[in-house]
Amino acid sequence: MPQYLVCNYMPDDFDPSTVTEAMIEEIHALNREMIAAGIRKFACGIAPPANAKTVRKKSDGKVLVTDGPYTETKEHMGGFWILECANMDEALAWARKGAISCDAVGEVRELLFFPAPDQEPGGSK
């Protein structure tokens, strides 16, 4: 069954002190519902972009590490779920609930595995 990344975005000036106990409970309730449905594989929040590091391969083969996220934006990823759903429509149904409970814009993308981690290219083991 396909897996999907369902993430939410927060404005860069997001103030965590605005998160209410009611919102936290709503998010916990959604997580409990996802677990009960058997679709949640993983979920977490992530640190703000000020704590991010970007890695970039240079032409000499070395890797440059810089402070901050790769792109300049006014929003950043605030957290995500990894869900195993039958299809995009089912993942979107859960994402709608996430947008409501987190009061945040979000994104849904199918996770791609090429080839499966336990297989060699070409499908043989």
The tens digit of pLDDT for each residue in 62-81 reads 999 998 776 777 888 889 99
pLDDT band at 41 (very low <50, low <70, confident <90, very high): very high
In whole angstroms, how far apart are CA 81 and each of 8, 50, 59, 97, 114? 9, 22, 35, 12, 21
- What per-residue confidence (pLDDT) applies to 76? 85
Tokens of 61: 């083969």
The mean pLDDT of the chain is: 89
- At 73, give phi and psi (nearest 5°): -140, 175
Q: What is the pLDDT of residue 89?
A: 95
| pLDDT computed for residue 119 by the predictor | 73
Model confidence band, residue 43 (pLDDT cutoffs 50, 70, 90)? very high
Q: How do the residues of the chain divide into helix, strand and coil, expressed in percent and rounded to 5? A: 30, 35, 35
pTM over 0.85: no
